[in-house]
Amino acid sequence: MEIRNIAIIAHVDHGKTTLVDRILQTTKVFRENQETGELIMDSNDLERERGITIFSKNAAVTYNDIKINVIDTPGHSDFGGEVERVLKMADGVILLVDAFEGPMPQTRFVLQKALQLKLKPIVVINKVDKPNCRPDEVHDAVFELFFNLDATEEQLDFPTFYGSGKNGWFNDSLTPTEDILPLMDGIIKYVPKPVVTEGTLQLQITSLDYSSFLGRIAIGKVTRGSIKENQQIALVQTDGSIKKSRVKELYVFEGMGKRRVAEVVSGDLCAVVGLEDFNIGDTIADAENPEALPVISVDEPTMSMTFSINNSPFFGKDGKFVTSRHLRDRLMKETEKNLALRVEDTDSADSFLVYGRGILHLGVLVETMRREGYELTVGNPQVLVKTIDGKKHEPYENLVVDVPSEFSGKVIDLVTQRKGEMQVMESKGEMQHLEFEIPSRGLIGLRSQMLTNTAGEAVMAHRFIEYKPWKGPIPGRNNGVLISKFQGTTTAYSIDKLQDRGSFFIDPGEEVYAGQIIAEHIKPGDLNVNAVEAKKLTNHRASGSDDSVRITPKLQFTLEECMEYIQQDECIEVTPKTIRMRKTVLNEEDRKKVARSMQSEAIG
C-alpha cells in the first residue's frame, strides 16, 4: 500500500484540529451513527478546556487505497520543542493560515523548521467564510514569508487551497464545494511518497506514548530497512552508547488508534513496544551493524521557575503527593518526554529549578501535576541570562499585536514602558497591526494589562528571536498587595470594611493563613490586614446598618495569570483544589528582617 506522511502546522486558533476532524470524517474513520463531537484529536482535558493543542498526535486514514499518516501539531510557540521533532516523521506539511489574520509569528517559526527539513508544503487558507477576510492578500503574504525564509524554487511553487474547515469544504479556488475531496486529492498529488532506502534498519524515536499495560512506547518513522516483531536490535543513544534490545510488539497507526503488525517497512510510522530506558532522539538500528541518525536538536529553554514542596500551614490537606521525593520523581519523568524542559537540583533538597520555553509551557506542567494530585509551591518566572563576551545578555522576542485603531496608542505605550521597540505599524482594515522587539522579561504580566487596557480586543503573539544585551530594569507591578495577618476564616464584616483598600482575591468564608496574599492594594506598597475579625455582637441593634454589607465578587485568576502577577518575594501554592498566592516568607517580622538585610546589602 502506498503511504503519505503529512504534518499540519499553523498558528494557534487557525483551525488545525478542525481540519483533522474533517479528514477523519471524510475518510469514514467513524461509523455513520457514531457520536464523535468536535476537536476529536484534542483528547486531553487541559487541551479541551483551553482550546489549544499541547501534545502532537498521530492518526492514519485511508483514501483511494493510499494510507495517509496525519500528524496534528501544537500551534503555540511554547510547545515548539514538540513540533520540531515530529516534523522529522513527515514528508510534506499543510500550512494552515487564517484568511483574515494571515501568517503569524508562530507560522513563521514552524514553517522555517519544515523548509529546513526539505518538506513539501501545501498552503491552505482557512476561514474564507469570515466577514472582511482577504484571501488574496494573505496568499501574497504567505509567498513573501516563504521567500524571506529562503525557500527553494520548488518550495516557492506551492499549491494553494481555500475553504472553511467549520463548513467542511476546501477547493483549489474560492468556489465552495460539497466536501474536502479536492484537498485530499491534492495531498496525494503533491506530497511525495516516503523515500525508501534499502539497507539495515534505522528508526529515530521522535515521540513517546505510555500505556499502563505495555509501559513506555517508542514512536518514529522507519527511514531505512524494515523492523519486525521479536527482532534483535541495537539502541544507539544520543551520547553514542549502544544497548542491545528486542522488539516485543509492533503497531502501526490506523484511524485514531493502533493496529498490531508483524513487520513495518521503510517509510511508515510505527510504535515499538519492549525497549528499556530509551529517550527521544535515540536511533533503533540493526543489531549487527548499528548506524545512528543525526541527533535531534531542540531550541534552548528561555525561562526558569523554582518548584518546591508546599510548606504552607495548609500543607497536605488536598494532595496525595506532597514530599520532595514525589516532586523530584514526577519532574524527572516529565523530562523524558518533554524535550524542551530541563530540571536542576538546588542547594535545598526541597526545591528544584525547572527550565522551560515560556509561561504557558511551565503553566501546563504545573496544571497537569496539580490534576494528578500533587501539592507544590512555584516561584515567579525568571528569564535565563547568558554572559556573552563578558557582557550580560537576555532573550528577546518578536511581539505581534493586532488591535482596533483606537487602542493602538495604549498598546504602544504599554510595550515601550517595558523596553519594547516598535518595528512595524500597518493597517489591516479597521485593525492596527503592530510589531515590536521586546526582552522576554517585558512579556511577563503584559497579556493581562494589555487586555485590560484594550477592552479585551488585543490579539497578541510572540516568538523567541535571539539573545541580545541586557536592557536594564523593567518596571514590575504598580500596586502592592494586602496580606492576611492571621490564620482563620474570612468574614463578610472585615472584608466589607477593607474593600476601599483594594480588590479581593477571596470571598467571605474562605480559610486563609498569615502571609497569604488576599487582595491587590490600590496603592504601591504592601499592607498587612485582618480579614478574619468577626463583628462584636451587642444587645443593641443599630437600626438600618446591620444588613448593608455589600461585597464585590472576588477576582478569579488562572494559574498563568498568578505566575505573571507575583513578584520576586512571592510564590504560588498549588494544590489539586486551590491556587493561592502568598509571600515566600510567611511571618511578618521575618519579612521585615529580610527586607532590612536586602536594603543594607544594596547600600553596602
- Number of other CB atoms surrounding residue 448 within 10 Å: 14
The CA–CA distances, whole Å, from 466 to 149, 357, 391, 484, 501 equal: 16, 13, 15, 42, 42
Write the single-letter amino acid at 472: G
User: Is 16 one of the annotated binding-site residues?
Assistant: yes
Q: How far is the C-alpha of 520 from the C-alpha of 502, rounded, in Å? A: 5
The CA–CA distances, whole Å, from 101 to 80, 141, 172, 426 equal: 21, 10, 20, 13
3-state secondary structure of 81: helix
The CA–CA distances, whole Å, from 554 to 508, 526, 558, 572, 582 equal: 9, 19, 13, 17, 16
User: Is 177 one of the annotated binding-site residues?
Assistant: no
**Cβ-based burial of 230 (10 A; exposed 0-12, middle 13-18, buried ≥19):** exposed
3-state secondary structure of 241: coil
Contact 111, 95 (CB under 8 A): yes
User: Is 13 one of the annotated binding-site residues?
Assistant: yes
User: Angle 408-417/446-453 helices, nearest 10 degrees?
Assistant: 150
3-state secondary structure of 401: strand
Residue holding cell 485511508?
A: 62
User: Is 160 one of the annotated binding-site residues?
Assistant: no
Q: What letters, b where the CB count within 10 A reaches 16 and e where it falls short, cover 308-323?
A: bbbebebeeebbebbe
User: Is 17 one of the annotated binding-site residues?
Assistant: yes
Residue holding cell 496539580?
A: 370
User: Is 128 one of the annotated binding-site residues?
Assistant: yes
User: To which H or E segment does residue 257 belong?
Assistant: strand 257-261
User: Is 279 one of the annotated binding-site residues?
Assistant: no
User: To which H or E segment does residue 102 belong?
Assistant: none
DSSP annotation of 113 reads H
The annotation places the binding site for GTP at: 13-18, 126-129
Annotated binding site: 13-18, 126-129
